[in-house]
Structure 1
Amino acid sequence: MKRTVVVGSVNRDYTFLLDHLPDRGETILSRRSYSSTGGKGANQAAALSKMGLEVAMIGAVGADEPGERAVEALAAYGVSVDHIIKKNVPTGSAFICVDKNAHNTIVVDPGANGALSCEDIDSAAQVIAEADFCLMQLEINLEVVAHAAEICREHGGKVVLNPAPAQKIPDELLSLTDYLIPNETELALLTGCEVNCHTAVAAARRLTDRGVKAVIVTMGEEGSCYVDGRQDFFIPAAETSAVDTTAAGDSYIGAFLSALSRGYEVRTAMEFASLAASITVSRQGAADSIPLLEEVERLL
């Protein structure tokens, strides 16, 4: 079994189910609310473990109840939590509004995620060095991401970067990235291009021209596309009835790496990932909504 390490955020999510997303200045009542473990790093670590991979999480939480609950939840998913560090700041939190059409808005308070340092990465360097894949996002400081990427590539691992939330990424980090996996909004912010199913390939090529080995663009119900220096192709989205799109991208990435680790070709791995995401959006919640490997395999 291939090893994967996730370097990223761990949050407590607070989700509100609404009839519609509020307009500026509008106050509305939620139909229901609940809290759960979240953060893109934690969600992706949970997805990888649910998809049958050996996965370790490197991140930070506060010395508080939300942090304890998040670590316990990840451990229950089978994620190694030995390198989740406690900081003297509150655990990160996310406030998620979901409307009746499954559209959402998310506001994140980084909390302890913003305190994760390069020194913390150095203390877990052996775990990164032994990993086949190092998966990261941008809910932690960019210099921490770059430092972990350098360690991974130095020891022959593959760097997978989900550039969310989108921000400017230096060419030095892009050149260390084997798979960059943005959604269409993130790709637009990274390239300055309008992105849709007709323009995604051209926009993604702007990033391969800057050193990324391969780009996979996730576009929700429009499917996903793959671009590298030699080829490009589209994979249609799997049909589903969406309830909540939270963690859909995280589920996709976890399933994609799981399929690659089990020897699937990239095209087949993307098809497998689309199936996983279709299950996720049919359920409410973040990490809890991500399916197990056998659930996805039943749809093949």
Structure 2
Amino acid sequence: MARVICAGHVNWDVTLRVDRFPAADGEATITDQHQSGGGSASNVACALTALDVETALLGSVGTDENGHLARRELSAAGVDCSSLVTAEGETAVKYLVVDADGEVVVLGNDGANESFDAADLSEEALEAASHLHLTSQEPDTAARLAERATEAGLRVSFDPGRRIHARDYSATIALADVLFLNEREAATAIEEHLGAIEDLARVVAIKHGGDGAEVLTPEGNYVSHDGFPVDTVDTTGAGDAFAAGFIAALLDDRSPPDYERALAVANACGALAACEPGARADISWDCIEAVLEER
């Protein structure tokens, strides 16, 4: 059974590389395009599997060809898809527009990616795992999964993503042991709805993009890492790769936890992801160690 369960969105991504983002009523040239699986939960699941972590995915796809392709790609990557629900309707499709600097604009529909609920995760799967990673999804589903995982003694991590501004995830955040945020999310939504980050009394990893990341520990200590300079190709999925690296490093169960190493590994994974097009990068421990040694 899986050691980590990832829950959240499973999408089919259409990536369009353009020479620039056009202004209103403007036009840009498409320089490249490709299609592949995406969605934060499935991105993290694939990265964890590549890092030799047994991983299962809880999410939902539609009955269309995109759903079949997404499931087949995940299974080929070694992800346990026994909890992946097939729902009536279309699989969520995201159109990722990437400019020459690797910055991304996302257009999409939700499709069937929130058609699953907490009851779709069996007790057997939950009891066999040691970590539950939650991503942007329906708030009640996320909260119920966090409750079940906490009761079963699992560590819970949560990356709410950009929807934190529009959804009330306070119940899930209150149960999370590890919270992943970017600068914008940390500076606005969390402080507006939950008070100061320093008062959350949990591990908070704040991503600064190309400038690295920092971690606030439950004891109120800060650990920071400057990241790794890379020639950015596409930032899609870099945050998901970061989360996967951090989780994989924490699974060592060192006491006390080595947040410094976890942050370095996470930044290395994010850097590797930013060097490749698409949401799924070629990540391995050999690649990570090479990045760490080069630094």
Do they fold alike, i.e. is TM over 0.5? yes
- State the secondary structure of the residue aligned to 1:71: helix
Task: Please give the alpha-carbon distance, in whole angstroms, between the structure 2 residues aligned to 1:88 and 1:188.
Answer: 38
| 1:130 corresponds to | 128
- The alpha carbon displacement at 1:219 in A equals 0.8
Match of 2:146 among 149, 153, 168: 149
- State the secondary structure of the residue aligned to 2:26: coil
> Which residues of 2 match residues 1-300 of structure 1 at below 5 A?
3-121=3-121, 124-138=122-136, 140-167=137-164, 168-191=167-190, 206-209=196-199, 211=200, 213-230=202-219, 231-263=221-253, 265-287=258-280, 289-300=281-292
- The alpha carbon displacement at 1:110 in A equals 1.5
Change (3 A) 1:189 1:116: farther
Show structure 1 runs of 5+ residues with no match. Answer: 194-202
- The alpha carbon displacement at 1:170 in A equals 4.4
Task: Please give the alpha-carbon distance, in whole angstroms, between the structure 1 residues aligned to 2:115 and 2:134.
Answer: 16
Task: Please give the alpha-carbon distance, in whole angstroms, between the structure 2 residues aligned to 1:129 and 1:169.
Answer: 28
- The alpha carbon displacement at 1:224 in A equals 0.5
Task: Please give the alpha-carbon distance, in whole angstroms, between the structure 2 residues aligned to 1:171 and 1:38.
Answer: 26
Change (3 A) 1:87 1:96: same
Residue 56 of structure 1 aligns with an amino acid whose one-letter code is A
CA deviations on 1:85-116 (whole Å, 9 max, x unpaired) are 10001001111011101111112312111222
CA deviations on 1:96-138 (whole Å, 9 max, x unpaired) are 01110111111231211122223324xx233123221100111
- State the secondary structure of the residue aligned to 1:31: strand
Task: Please give the alpha-carbon distance, in whole angstroms, between the structure 1 residues aligned to 2:72 and 2:2.
Answer: 24
Task: Please give the alpha-carbon distance, in whole angstroms, between the structure 2 residues aligned to 1:278 and 1:69.
Answer: 27
- State the secondary structure of the residue aligned to 1:24: coil
Q: How many residues align?
A: 286
Show structure 2 runs of 5+ residues with no match. Answer: none
Task: Please give the alpha-carbon distance, in whole angstroms, between the structure 2 residues aligned to 1:227 and 1:11.
Answer: 31
- The alpha carbon displacement at 1:273 in A equals 1.2
Identity %: 25
Task: Please give the alpha-carbon distance, in whole angstroms, between the structure 1 residues aligned to 2:266 and 2:282.
Answer: 11
Task: Please give the alpha-carbon distance, in whole angstroms, between the structure 1 residues aligned to 2:218 and 2:80.
Answer: 35
| CA-atom RMSD in angstroms | 2.1
Residue 128 of structure 2 aligns with an amino acid whose one-letter code is E
- State the secondary structure of the residue aligned to 1:267: helix
- State the secondary structure of the residue aligned to 1:79: coil
Task: Please give the alpha-carbon distance, in whole angstroms, between the structure 1 residues aligned to 2:82 and 2:269.
Answer: 27
Runs of 4+ in 1 over 6 A off after TM superposition: none
